[in-house]
């Protein structure tokens, strides 16, 4: 009996303490709705944080209220939450940019673009992320393409300081993304990157990679096709194929000459010149004219990708030599895979010339080392000061 009285007493105490709590529970009545709606309405422009709290309170107390108040308050609350999230994402995106966290730049950029698909600055940053992290190159290149469209259309090019600089680096990203698997496709983008005014135009690394793209792309493809036919005698067809191979090799020589002309480090310049000299001699049977080429190459326009040669020049009728003169020396065509020829990736023979497809980036990440085959490994070349801003 005594135990029963104690339990009843405790129940009464709990009821006393629970009463104030029940009294504080808001009721969804006209008085509450009018007061809370008024609080939201009065603060919705100047004090949106206060208005948001009123809106949340209203929706929690009257979740199923069919009045016009509910629709207006619910829209405000949703817009406020979205705007707050956008601000937070942009702040985090800016921090990722400042801290060079390239993976987060891609991740957060996607979130921002979901609500702001025309934000060119976000596309530019995402497009450049691959230069900081080679693992992101393929994905970054897709955003670089879209960024190029925006910049060419006159949209802002921030965080870079000029339109030319932005377009140069964005094209460079696309070129590098193609270099390993589609070197021929990389060539037009390297050429575009090199034509815009800015620091990248003067970076020897770009031209080493362009030479590698020529060597691993058209030179290799054309040489392998030539060897597959296993010519035993020289024919008009074999001459035509050799002319196309040599045209591609000439582009490779031009790119290497530009890299040599722009390289200032003595050890690295020697490594590039060693590769260039071997290729030039295989192509021209002599070193004559090589120094002049390197000295003057930067004053000449960067050549476009070669167009296929479909017919050889019609030979002119020989004229009788003057009395006592000697006939000109034969200038036989260079044949891939033979001694004195230019060997490309995947071929056999002597005279190997294969500038590596380097992954060192202009942002200062990666090793930045040119590694031509059959030559000393050069030291790190000068890098462009790629400060995106």
Q: How confident is the model at residue 82 (pLDDT cuts 50, 70, 90)?
A: low
Question: What pLDDT was estimated at residue 32?
Answer: 86
Whether the CA torsion 180, 185, 188, 193 is positive or negative: it is negative
- Point out which residues pair with 352 in neighbouring strands: 343
Question: What pLDDT was estimated at residue 85?
Answer: 58
pLDDT at 68 > cutoff 90: no
The overall pTM is greater than 0.75: no
| More confident call, 333 vs 247 | 247
* Mean pLDDT score, 43-63: 80
Question: What pLDDT was estimated at residue 140?
Answer: 98
Tell me the percentage of the chain whose pLDDT exceeds 70. Answer: 73
Distance separating alpha carbons of residues 280 and 275, to the nearest angstrom: 9
Question: What pLDDT was estimated at residue 361?
Answer: 28
Average predicted confidence (pLDDT) for the chain: 78
* Mean pLDDT score, 235-245: 95
pLDDT at 334 > cutoff 70: no
| CB distance 216 to 183 below 8 Å | yes
| More confident call, 222 vs 26 | 222
Q: How confident is the model at residue 25 (pLDDT cuts 50, 70, 90)?
A: low
pLDDT at 191 > cutoff 60: yes
**Least-confidence region, from 2-6, 155-159, 222-226, 383-387:** 383-387
**Least-confidence region, from 92-101, 262-271, 293-302, 328-337:** 328-337
| CB distance 207 to 258 below 8 Å | yes
């Amino acid at each position: 009996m005594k135990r029963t009285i104690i339990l009843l007493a405790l129940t009464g105490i709990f009821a006393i303490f629970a009463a104030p709590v029940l009294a504080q529970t808001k009721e969804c009545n006209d008085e509450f709705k009018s007061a809370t709606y008024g609080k939201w309405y009065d603060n919705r422009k100047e004090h949106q944080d206060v208005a948001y709290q009123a809106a949340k309170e209203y929706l929690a107390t009257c979740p199923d209220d069919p009045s016009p108040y509910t629709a207006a308050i619910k829209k405000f609350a949703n817009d406020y939450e979205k705007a707050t999230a956008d601000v937070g994402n942009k702040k985090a995106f800016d921090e990722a940019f400042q801290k060079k966290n390239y993976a987060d730049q891609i991740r957060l950029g996607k979130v921002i673009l979901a609500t702001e698909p025309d934000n060119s600055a976000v596309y530019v940053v995402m497009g450049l992320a691959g230069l900081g992290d080679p693992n992101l190159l393929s994905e970054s290149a897709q955003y670089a393409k879209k960024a190029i469209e925006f910049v060419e259309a006159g949209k802002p090019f921030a965080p870079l300081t000029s339109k030319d600089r932005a377009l140069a680096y964005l094209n460079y990203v696309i070129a590098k993304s193609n270099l390993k698997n589609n070197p021929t496709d990389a060539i037009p983008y390297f050429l575009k990157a090199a034509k815009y005014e800015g620091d990248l135009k003067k970076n020897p690394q770009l031209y080493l990679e362009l030479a590698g793209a020529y060597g691993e792309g058209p030179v290799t493809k054309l040489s392998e096709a030539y060897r597959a036919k296993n010519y035993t005698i020289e024919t008009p067809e074999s001459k035509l194929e050799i002319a196309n191979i040599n045209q591609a090799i000439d582009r490779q020589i031009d790119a290497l000459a530009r890299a040599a002309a722009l390289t200032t480090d003595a050890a690295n310049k020697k490594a590039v010149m060693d590769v260039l000299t071997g290729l030039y001699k295989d192509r021209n049977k002599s070193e004559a004219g090589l120094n002049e080429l390197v000295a003057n190459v930067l004053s000449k326009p960067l050549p476009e990708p070669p167009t296929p040669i479909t017919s050889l020049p019609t030979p002119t009728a020989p004229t009788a030599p003057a009395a006592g003169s000697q006939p000109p020396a034969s200038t036989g065509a260079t044949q891939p895979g033979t001694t004195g020829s230019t060997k490309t990736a995947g071929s056999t023979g002597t005279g190997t010339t294969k500038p590596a497809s380097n992954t060192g980036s202009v942002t200062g990440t990666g090793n930045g080392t040119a590694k031509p085959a059959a030559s000393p490994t050069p030291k790190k070349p000068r890098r462009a000061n790629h400060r995106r801003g």
